[in-house]
Amino acid sequence: MPEKTMRDAINEALHQAMEQDDSVFVIGEDVGGCSGSAGDVGAVGGVFGVTEGIYHRWPDRCIDTPISESAIVGAAAGAALVGMRPVAEIMFADFIGVCMDQIVNQMAKFRYMFGGKSRCPAVIRFSSGGGFSAAGQHSQAMYQVMTSFPGLKVVVPSNAYDAKGLMLSAIQDDDPVLFFEPKILYQETADVPDEMYTIPFGEANFVREGDDVTVVAFGQMVPKTAAVIDALAEEGISCDLIDPRTTSPLDENAILESVEATGRLVVVDEAPPRCGLTADIAGLAADKAFSSLKAPIKQVSAPHSPTPFSPELEAAYLPDADKITAAIKTTLA
């Protein structure tokens, strides 16, 4: 099977969806790039290159916009409401701050508020998360915030294979999907089939299987946690590593069944802890699997602070192997 980066895997999914369905289009800042310039129009393909090449094949369906995040999301929502399948790009997840109303008050609520009579099959893509020394306004995960809103499906891939299958599911989905691409993983590779395939939402992936501890991790924390679990295996500690892949819908059963079997739970996410996914999963287990627990649940997250700039500070800010290892061992102490 060919090896591809996450960037290329998502790019391939977009190309294949565009080929298959004329109602799919991409829209956003520099998704083609260089519009209006004397240079090479279409040469950018988004700042991370995820939409590369689309403009050259489908110039009418690859739409550069002004820097206007509210109008980008609103345009995607409106086009979807009348039957198109837009894939909008918001360059950094942090910019949700600019277009929050169009996401949470508009597109998320159409179907419900309109008595089930509408569909809004829009996908909004974001680069997400830390690791680039990009500081407080270009490093946030944001998916944990958006997971709290009913009416939004929220996807966080952790590898290239999942990213392609989840993107194709997102585009085919009849409801609004927020697709968070951990930008630190864009260049990470996995075996990715050339043909189209989908990965259903709400179906977790067991990245590792073990008996002692259940570990749930999201996005860029999945490969980091897998490395920890592999190291612990040499010490005789075996863990389930569950990657929910979609935070909404959430595969509650996979998590609960694992916790019932191991009796121990560690949850790892890069976002700050309050009202986040680690607390959410811990709450689920405390509510539904309390009698199975042999030890207190451990959460591993960033501290309750903005993301710092300096590399040393960011390294201390993001959960690392030491913190994840310590949390797993604490549940076994």
Partner 1 sequence: MSIPKETLLHAYRTMKTIREFEERVNAEIMNGQIPGFTHLYTGQEANAVGVCAHLDESDTIISTHRGHGHCIAKGAEVSGMMKELFGSSEGLCKGKGGSMHVADIDKGILGANGIVAGGPPISVGSALAAKIRKNGKVAVSFSGDGSVNQGTCFEAMNMAVVLQAPAVFVIENNYYSEHTHISYAVGCDDLKARTEAFGFPVFVADGADFFAVYEAAGKAITHAREGKGPAGVFAEQGRYHGHFVGDPQAYRAEGELEDLRENHCPLKIFRAKMAESGELSDAELDAIDAEVMAEIEQSVTDAKAAARPTAEQVTEDVYIQYTATA
| Per-residue interface string for the shown chain with partner 1, residues 20-59, x marking contact by CB under 8 A | ---------xx--xxxxxxxx--xx--x------------
CB of 64 to partner 1, least distance (A): 6
Beta strands in the chain, from DSSP E residues, in sequence order: 3-5, 24-28, 62-64, 85-92, 123-128, 153-155, 177-182, 189-191, 205-208, 213-217, 239-243, 246-248, 265-268, 298-300
Reply yes or no on whether 138 is catalytic.
yes
- Helix or strand or coil: residue 328? helix
Q: Which is nearer to partner 1, 100 or 196 (CB)?
A: 100
Rg (alpha carbons) of the chain, rounded to whole number: 20
Q: Which of the ranges 53-61, 214-222, 228-236, 293-301 carries the binding residues for partner 1, by CB under 8 A?
A: 293-301
299: left (phi over 0), alpha (psi -120 to 50) or beta: beta
Contacts to partner 1 from residues 311-330, by CB under 8 A? 311-313, 316-317
Q: Letter for the amino acid at 298?
A: K
Q: Are 178 and 126 in contact (CB under 8 A)?
A: yes
Question: Of these, 308, 324, 328, 331, which contacts partner 1 (CB under 8 A)?
Answer: 308
Q: Which is nearer to partner 1, 274 or 294 (CB)?
A: 274
Q: Letter for the amino acid at 118?
A: S
Give the span between the Cα atoms of 102 and 44, in whole angstroms: 26
Could you tell me the two tokens for 212?
């002692």
Q: Are 289 and 283 in contact (CB under 8 A)?
A: no
Looking at 15, 56, 138, 304, which residue is catalytic? 138
Q: Which of the ranges 142-150, 215-223, 248-256, 270-278 carries the binding residues for partner 1, by CB under 8 A?
A: 270-278
| Per-residue interface string for the shown chain with partner 1, residues 135-174, x marking contact by CB under 8 A | xxxx------------------------------------
**Residues contributing to the site for partner 1 (CB under 8 A):** 29-30, 33-40, 43-44, 47, 64-71, 94-95, 97-98, 132-138, 273-274, 278, 299-301, 303-306, 308-313, 316-317
Catalytic residues: 138
